[in-house]
Amino acid sequence: MDKKPSEISKWLSGEHNFTLRSLAKLSAELGEPLMEVPKKKSTD
């Protein structure tokens, strides 16, 4: 992703607010999903 070590340290500190775009880019770079939204179970 061509990021500086200082920016990655900021991410890892837990104080950074990620945008959906930055999370999508990070997920694509890692080749792994970063979050999952569970499907709501049907009560039929």
Cβ neighbors of 1 (< 8 A, separation 6 or more) are 25, 26, 29
List the structure tokens of 34. 């970063």
Rounded Cα gap, residues 23 and 18, in angstroms: 6
Question: 1-44, pLDDT tens digit by residue?
Answer: 788 999 889 888 988 899 999 899 999 999 999 988 898 888 76
Query: For the whole prediction, is pTM greater than 0.85?
Result: no
Structural domain spans, the chain: 1-33
